[in-house]
Amino acid sequence: MKQLDKIYDPGSVEDRLYSKWVDSGYFHTQRDPEKKPYTIVMPPPNITGQLHMGHAMDETWQDILIRYKRMQGYAALWVPGTDHASIATEAKIVAKMKEEGLTKQDLGREKFLERAWDWKKQYGGRIVEQLKKLGCSCDWKRERFTMDEGCSRAVLKVFKKLYDEGLIYRGERIINWCPHCKTSISDAEVEYEDQQSFFWHLKYPIVGTDEYLELATTRPETMLGDTAVAVHPDDERYRHLHGKKVILPLVNKEIPIVCDEYVDMEFGTGVVKITPAHDPNDFEVGRRHNLPIIKVLTDDAHMTDDCGKYVGMDRYEARKAIVADLEAGGYLASIEPHPHNVGTCYRCGTTVEPMVSKQWFVKMVSLAGPAIEAVRDGRIKFVPERFDKNYYFWMENTRDWCISRQLWWGHRIPAYYCDDCGEITVSAEPLTVCPKCGKPVHQDEDTLDTWFSSALWPFSTLGWPEETEDLKYFYPTNTLVTGYDIITFWVSRMIFSGLTYTDQVPFNTVLIHGLVRDAQGRKMSKSLGNGIDPLEVIKDYGADALRLTLVLGSTPGNDMRFSDEKVKASRNFANKLWNAARFVMMNLPENFQPGDPATLTMADKWILSRFNTLVKNVSENLDKFELGLAAQKVQDFIWDVYCDWYIEIAKLRLNSEDEQEADSARKLLVSILVGALKLLHPFMPFITEEIYTALPGTGETLVTESWPVYDEAQCYAAEEQSFEKVMDLIKAVRAVRNDMGVHPTKRTTMIIETTDAAPFEAGKSYLAKFAFANEVHFTPAYEGETKGVVQVVTHAARAFIPMMELIDREKELARLNKEKAQCEKDLASLQAKLSNEGFVSKAPEKVVNDIRAKHAAAVDKLAKIEESLKALA
Q: According to the model, what pLDDT value does residue 348 have?
A: 78
Rounded-to-integer distance, Cα 828 and Cα 153, Å: 70
Rounded-to-integer distance, Cα 452 and Cα 399, Å: 15
Classified as helix, coil or strand, 290 is coil
Lowest mean pLDDT among 537-551, 648-662, 736-750: 736-750
Lowest mean pLDDT among 348-352, 382-386, 658-662: 348-352
Residue 676 clears pLDDT 70, i.e. is over it: yes
Q: Residue 871: pLDDT band by 50, 70, 90 thresholds?
A: low
Decide if 141 contacts 29 (C-beta within 8 A).
Answer: no
Q: According to the model, what pLDDT value does residue 812 have?
A: 76
Residue 805 clears pLDDT 80, i.e. is over it: no
Rounded-to-integer distance, Cα 267 and Cα 638, Å: 64
Q: According to the model, what pLDDT value does residue 735 have?
A: 87
Section 573-598 average pLDDT: 94
Rounded-to-integer distance, Cα 522 and Cα 374, Å: 36
Q: According to the model, what pLDDT value does residue 526 have?
A: 62
Q: Residue 815: pLDDT band by 50, 70, 90 thresholds?
A: confident
Measured distance between the N- and C-terminal CA atoms of the chain, rounded to whole angstroms = 60
Q: Residue 644: pLDDT band by 50, 70, 90 thresholds?
A: very high
Section 565-587 average pLDDT: 96
Q: According to the model, what pLDDT value does residue 409 have?
A: 95
Residue 666 clears pLDDT 80, i.e. is over it: yes
Rounded-to-integer distance, Cα 491 and Cα 477, Å: 13
pLDDT digits (tens, 9 = 90+) for 738-774: 877 788 888 889 999 999 999 999 999 999 999 999 8
Q: According to the model, what pLDDT value does residue 706 have?
A: 97
Q: Helix H segments across 235-342?
A: 280-288, 315-328
Report in angstroms the alpha-carbon separations of 352 from 191, 220, 638, 745, 860: 9, 16, 54, 75, 70
Q: According to the model, what pLDDT value does residue 268 have?
A: 86
Rounded-to-integer distance, Cα 227 and Cα 230, Å: 10
- Cβ-based neighbour number of residue 406 at 10 Å: 16
Domains and CATH numbers, the chain: 191-341 (3.90.740.10), 557-715 (1.10.730.10), 745-872 (1.10.287.380)
- Cβ-based neighbour number of residue 399 at 10 Å: 14
Q: According to the model, what pLDDT value does residue 16 have?
A: 96
Angle at Cα 480 formed by Cα 476 and Cα 484, nearest 5°?
145
Lowest mean pLDDT among 291-300, 335-344, 489-498, 636-645: 335-344
Residue 428 clears pLDDT 80, i.e. is over it: yes
Axis-axis angle for helices 53-71, 109-134 (nearest 10): 60
Q: Residue 349: pLDDT band by 50, 70, 90 thresholds?
A: confident
Percent share of the chain, pLDDT over 90:
72
Cα radius of gyration rounded to whole Å, the chain: 36
Run of H or E including 152: helix 149-164
Report in angstroms the alpha-carbon separations of 579 from 3, 573, 603, 706: 12, 10, 22, 25
Q: Helix H segments across 743-844?
A: 758-762, 764-770, 809-835, 837-842
Q: Residue 786: pLDDT band by 50, 70, 90 thresholds?
A: confident
3-state helix, strand, coil in the chain (%, to 5): 50, 20, 35
In terms of Cα–Cα distance, which of 729, 757, 758, 733 is closest to 747?
A: 733
Is there a binding annotation on residue 523? no
If one compares 740 and 507, the residue with the highest pLDDT of the two is 507
Best-predicted range by mean pLDDT (304-308, 563-567, 673-677):
673-677
Rounded-to-integer distance, Cα 753 and Cα 780, Å: 5
Best-predicted range by mean pLDDT (52-61, 398-407, 472-481):
472-481
- Largest separation between any pair of C-alpha atoms in the chain: 116
Cross-strand partners of 832: none
Best-predicted range by mean pLDDT (214-218, 471-475, 558-562):
471-475
Q: What string of DSSP letters covers 583-604?
A: HHHHTS-TT------S---HHH
Contacts of residue 65, defined as CB under 8 A and 6 or more positions apart, other chains included, come to 40, 479, 481, 622, 625, 627, 682
Q: According to the model, what pLDDT value does residue 529 have?
A: 75
Q: Residue 788: pLDDT band by 50, 70, 90 thresholds?
A: confident
pLDDT digits (tens, 9 = 90+) for 240-283: 999 999 999 999 999 999 999 999 988 889 999 999 999 989 99
Section 838-852 average pLDDT: 88
Q: Residue 527: pLDDT band by 50, 70, 90 thresholds?
A: low
Q: Is the dihedral of CA 83, 87, 88, 89 positive or negative?
A: positive
Rounded-to-integer distance, Cα 341 and Cα 343, Å: 7
Contacts of residue 212, defined as CB under 8 A and 6 or more positions apart, other chains included, come to 203, 204, 205, 206, 246
Amino acid identity for residue 444 in this structure: D
Q: According to the model, what pLDDT value does residue 846 have?
A: 85
Axis-axis angle for helices 365-376, 492-502 (nearest 10): 100
Report in angstroms the alpha-carbon separations of 562 from 683, 755, 840: 17, 50, 41
Report in angstroms the alpha-carbon separations of 126 from 94, 461, 538, 681, 826: 20, 20, 16, 26, 56
Section 291-299 average pLDDT: 92
Classified as helix, coil or strand, 696 is coil
Q: List b or e across 636-670, with b for residues whose CB sees 16 or more CB atoms inside 10 angstroms.
A: ebbbebbbebbbebbebbbeeeeeebbbbbbbbbb
Q: What string of DSSP letters covers 379-420?
A: SSEEESGGGHHHHHHHHHT---EE-EES-SSSPBP-EEEETT
Q: According to the model, what pLDDT value does residue 1 have?
A: 65
Q: According to the model, what pLDDT value does residue 160 have?
A: 97
What DSSP character marks residue 523? Answer: B
Q: Exposed/middle/buried for 783, CB within 10 Å: 0-12, 13-18, 19+?
A: exposed
Percent share of the chain, pLDDT over 70:
99
Q: According to the model, what pLDDT value does residue 458 have?
A: 98
Amino acid identity for residue 851 in this structure: I
pLDDT digits (tens, 9 = 90+) for 76-129: 999 999 999 988 898 889 889 999 999 988 999 999 999 999 999 888 788 889
Q: Residue 810: pLDDT band by 50, 70, 90 thresholds?
A: confident
Q: Residue 3: pLDDT band by 50, 70, 90 thresholds?
A: confident
Pairing state of beta strands 353-362 and 168-178? antiparallel
Section 317-337 average pLDDT: 93
Contacts of residue 416, defined as CB under 8 A and 6 or more positions apart, other chains included, come to 424, 425, 426, 427, 431, 434, 441, 442, 443, 444
Mean per-residue pLDDT over the chain, rounded: 92
pLDDT digits (tens, 9 = 90+) for 11-56: 999 999 999 999 999 999 999 999 999 999 999 999 887 788 888 9
